Structure 1
Amino acid sequence: MYPKEYIQFLAHFHGDRDYFECHEILEEYWKKHDVKNKNSIWVGLILLAVSTYHHRRKNFNGAKRTLEKAITIFKTQSDLVIKLGLDLQLLHNILLERLSLINNQQRYISFNLPIGDQGLLNLGKRYCQQDGYVWGMESDLSNDQLIHRHSLRDRKSVIDERNQSLKLRKGNV
C-alpha cells in the first residue's frame, strides 16, 4: 500500500534520526516517479527532512526556508498527506511549532510525525527494529557523522556525475 522508500524514510526519521538519509531515500524515489513535479508530496517530505537536518545543525535560515516550502506543499497536497497515513491537522500543528522554534532560534528537539495508520506505524517500527534502532528515540546530538553528514561524506561520485552531465550538455561525450 505504501512505497517501501516511504517506510524507510519514516524508519530513519523516527529511528536513527538520519535526516540526510531520509532526503537521499525519497529524492531517489521522487526522481523515478514524479521528478518534474516540484510540488510533489515527496518533495514536501524531502524538504521536511532537510529542514530538520538544518535545524539540528543550527542553520536556522536554511531550516526556516525549507520548512516553509514543505508546509506550503502539504497544504496543497493535503489529500496525499492523508493517503500517506499522516494526521493532517496534527502535522500542521507540529510543523507550526517547529517553525516557531526555528524562528526563535531555539535548539532542535526530536519529534515524531503524527502517523494515524496503525499498520504503517507497525511497519515503520519493524523496519527500525531490523536496523537496530528504536522508534522514537532521541537524536544523538554527539554524533558528528549524523549531525554533519553532508559535509563529511565522500562527494566524488556526486562531482563525477555533475561533470558527466555538464559534458553531455556541451556535447563533449
Structure 2
Amino acid sequence: MKYPLAYIEYLYYFHIDRDYFECHEVLESHWKNNGKERTSIWVGLIQIAVSYYHYRRGNKIGAIKMLNKSHLLLSYKEKEIEELGLNYNELMRKLERSLLDLQENLPYRAITLPINNPILMQKCLDYSNNSAIHWFDEIDEAPYEIIHKHKLHRTKNYVYASR
C-alpha cells in the first residue's frame, strides 16, 4: 500500500512531537485535496488529534465531543483502518479507554496509534531519520508552544495581518 506523505507526517506529529494541532493541519490539507468527504477516514483521524489536543489542554467537553465523533465514524471503517496499517480493534479499545478516562475526570495521558504494518513503520522511521524514540512510548514532553499552538497560531496570524 502506498501511504500519503500527509499520513506519515500525521503519525510523526502524533507520536514524536505530540503536536496534535499539526496533525490536524497536515491531514486536513490532505483531506481537502482529496474530495472533502465528511465520512472520510481522514476526518476520523483528524478528530482523534483534535480530541487529544483538547484533552491535554483540559477542555474535557471538547475532547469528549471529538472523541465520540471519531469513534462513531471510525466504527464503520475497519477495513480502511487496517489498510492504513493500524490495528482496528486496538485503536477502538484505546479510544474507548480514553473516553472512560475523560468521563471519570482522569488527567490527560498520551496514547500511541497501533501501527501494525512493518512497511508503514519503516516509512515512519525513515521519515524520522530512523529515530525509534517515542514511536511506541506513551509519553508527552511537548512544550507550551505545542500545547497551546492554536492561541499562538492565531496571534501570529494577527501580527502578520496587521503589518
Provide TM-score, normalisation by structure 2.
0.88
Runs of 4+ in 1 over 4 A off after TM superposition: 130-134
Counterpart residue number, 1:165: none
Residue segments in structure 2 that go unaligned for 5+ positions in a row: none
Please report how far the alpha carbon of residue 123 of structure 1 lies from its aligned counterpart in structure 2 after TM superposition: 1.4
Q: 1:134 to 1:91 in 2, by over 3 A?
A: closer
Give the superposed CA RMSD: 2.2
1:7 aligns with 2:8: yes
Counterpart residue number, 1:164: none
Counterpart-to-counterpart distance in 2, 1:51 and 1:79: 23
Counterpart-to-counterpart distance in 2, 1:101 and 1:136: 20
Counterpart residue number, 2:104: 104
Q: 1:44 to 1:145 in 2, by over 3 A?
A: same
Counterpart-to-counterpart distance in 2, 1:60 and 1:126: 35
Counterpart residue number, 1:139: 140
Larger Rg belongs to: 1
Letter in 2 for 1:8: E
Provide TM-score, normalisation by structure 1.
0.84
State percent identity of aligned pairs.
36
Deviations 1:112-157 (A, max 9, x none): 011110111121122223799643452125x210110001112349
- Could you tell me whether the CA contact under 8 Å between 2:52 and 2:63 is conserved in 1? yes
Residue segments in structure 1 that go unaligned for 5+ positions in a row: 161-173
1:155 pairs, out of 145, 153, 157, with: 157
How many residue pairs match? The answer is 158
- Could you tell me whether the CA contact under 8 Å between 1:15 and 1:136 is conserved in 2? no
Counterpart residue number, 1:83: 83
- Could you tell me whether the CA contact under 8 Å between 2:53 and 2:147 is conserved in 1? yes
- Could you tell me whether the CA contact under 8 Å between 1:14 and 1:136 is conserved in 2? yes
